Amino acid sequence: MAGRPNKLLIGDMKEFVRLITEAWSKPINLSHQIVQRVDPFTLDNVQKYEGEDWAKHRRIINPSFHLEKLKVMIPEFATSCRNMIQQWNQMIGSQESSEFDVWPQFQKLTADVISRAAFGSNYEEGKHIFHLQKELIQLTLEAMQTLYIPGFRFVPTKKNKRRRRLNTEITAMLRNVIEGKANALKTGKSRVDDLLGLLLQYCENENESSTRSIGLTIEEVIEECKAFYLAGQETTSSLLTWTVVVLAMHPDWQEKARQEVLQACQNKELDFEAITHLKTIGEISVPSGVDIILPTLLVHHDPELWGNDVDEFKPGRFSEGVSKASNNDQLAFFPFGWGPRSCIGQNFAMLEAKLALAMILPNFSFQLSPSYSHAPHTVMILQPQHGAQIILHKL
């Protein structure tokens, strides 16, 4: 039985930069033991591949997340945000303010956004697929937090059987949506206006430009669609939740952000141009099989890179970019990773988060509720363990 792999923590910045720039292997959080626990349920996509398989998937998927392609999805993003703001106004009603947990609110928002962006006209079916996948992810996380026993995922326990049924149902539904979209594109009955359409288009382009079929198979497209959920929903909802929490902790910066939005938008409908104006916010020989750890948290709090005020909440330090915020080191801040394995969906996430905040700030101010308990808790991503209770005020 394999024991825990050896790990090497990199603290030297020069080695850190070299490793993260040249890294072609999968991230450490998808190490062999984790993949063995959850395959084939959630990780059979570009995040898991290595070598030529990874290069092929990345090449085909990457164009779908270019900013030029994402611009056309802004109206869909705005529709989801507008619906959430209307719900918040209804929750407040005739009162001046109301308290509620924004964590599930942002989870619902980002699930709605990724359903619209990924599946377009098949939005409602996409919502149902992602609802099932949310349950599957929860069961998978529970499996990851238990003692690892090789082969245990094949034992017919109640949860293992439920995971298999969910995976089968999700796969069948996605296959139906994908085949329908592909046929509609071929007959001209559908436009390329969502992530699935873009992905299918680039697969077709790959096949047409080669003498052999080098695009993704339908099974591979299915797995990439599953990845849209985790990449497009959980991460962005966490980003929005913590942003609202820290802005509630620092009302002066909340007001600065609000004024920036009002100045940039000037009571007009938000578009891509308006959103882009929102700026505030060595030589070591490592044996095979050793996991290399790049300490994100330590680098982001290193006074040598950020100065003695590193622990202060100062969003203004980023107003002229990361290199000016730190000691002229672009790699001092890498929330989406860096190099070849950087997050493929970072443009999508930042565009969605900026739009949501830009629509929330002119309508509401917010403060932390006395019932809020600050307890950041990592379950794949950083979550508020006891929720994010906010008192919302209409403006």
Burial string for 76-113 (b: 16+ CB within 10 Å, else e) reads bbbebbeebbeebeeebeeeeebbbbbbebbbbbbbbb
* CB neighbourhood size of 30 (10 A): 14
Phi, psi of 147 (to 5 degrees): -60, 130
Quote the pLDDT of residue 303.
Answer: 86
Whole-number Å distance between alpha carbons of 187 and 342: 36
Residue found by looking up tokens 């040249």 in the block: 22
Residues at the binding site are 343
Asked if 26 and 339 touch (Cβ cutoff 8 Å), the reply is no
Q: Tell me what pLDDT residue 323 has.
A: 74
pLDDT at 136: 85
**The two three-digit tokens of residue 237, written as one number:** 């909802």
* DSSP 8-state secondary structure symbol assigned to residue 96: S
The residues, any chain, with a CB within 8 Å of residue 223's CB and separated by 6 or more, are: 44, 45
Query: What number of CA atoms fall less than 13 Å from residue 86's CA on the CB side?
Result: 6
Binding-site residues for heme, in ranges, read: 343
Q: Which amino acid is at 330?
A: Q
pLDDT tens digits, residue range 11-68? 566 666 666 555 555 544 444 444 444 444 454 544 555 666 767 767 777 767 777 7
Q: Which long-range contacts (CB under 8 A, 24 or more apart) does 202-211 make?
A: 202/60, 202/61, 202/63, 202/64, 203/60, 206/59, 206/60
Q: pTM, whole model, 2 decimals?
A: 0.76
Domain ranges for the chain, please list them: 7-394
- pLDDT at 28 (0 to 100): 44
Measured between alpha carbons, how far is residue 217 from residues 167, 171, 241, 275 in Å? 18, 14, 36, 36
167: Cβ contacts below 8 Å, ≥ 6 apart = 40, 41, 136
Residue ranges for the chain with pLDDT beneath 50: 1, 27-41, 43, 45-46, 281-282
**Cβ pair 260, 280 in contact under 8 A:** yes
* Topology, domain 7-394: Cytochrome p450 (1.10.630)
